[in-house]
Amino acid sequence: MSYITVSGFARDSFVEKKSEFIGSIAPVRTSEEAMEFINKIKAENRKARHNVFAYVLREGNVSRYSDDGEPQGTGGVPVLDVIKKAGLTDVCVVVTRYFGGILLGASGLVRAYSQGCSLAVSAAKKMVMCECSRISFSCDYSLYGKISYVLPEFEILTEKEDFADSVNISVLVKNEKLEGLRNKLTDISNGKLELSEETNLWADFS
């Protein structure tokens, strides 16, 4: 299992017929976190006419949106559509509009809010979060060479390599490769390694 989210806050903007549209995106995990972000953006843009938003959460498969005073369906839905088409989850996007005095019409608003969201999505660093497990163990230096040679075969993320009297290693491995790594470590150590495992984790393997 995997999902795509963003690593942190990002923002971009453009001007359409004297209206400025500012797209802001951030990672969120709950509706409460999403509303905190939305309210923060609103507070930063008190003079803006609209702060249209949408968010998608992995937990409970939740999605919400708001046109924030724009004609129904011209703001929140286009923003939500962009998020979903990008395959993102656990994200919130707010597109702020500073009205320039020229009406855009319904189709113009849809395009503008879609573009505002797309710019924010493009500005953000993506993370491919994969379900994984942590394997930790200690080995002597004579065995470390063999282990360090085979670990890359399993596309692991190294969390720790401490060199003391022995080598203390902690790695993250995708769940589909867990059994293979466990078997390989057992084989090359002749069963001498004491493996500690922690499951039900998520990490960025992008």
- Cα–Cα distance measured from residue 52 to residue 66, given in angstroms and rounded to the nearest whole number: 6
Domains in the chain: ranges and CATH? 2-124 (3.30.230.30), 131-204 (3.30.70.240)
pLDDT band at 121 (very low <50, low <70, confident <90, very high): very high
Range of lowest pLDDT (82-86, 100-104, 199-203) = 100-104
Q: What mean pLDDT is predicted for residues 122-142? A: 94
pLDDT band at 8 (very low <50, low <70, confident <90, very high): very high
Counting residues of the chain whose pLDDT is more than 90, the rounded percentage is 89
Predicted TM-score (pTM) of the model is 0.84
Phi-psi group of 50: left, alpha or beta (phi > 0 → left; psi -120 to 50 → alpha; rest → beta): beta
Tokens 């493009």 locate to: 122
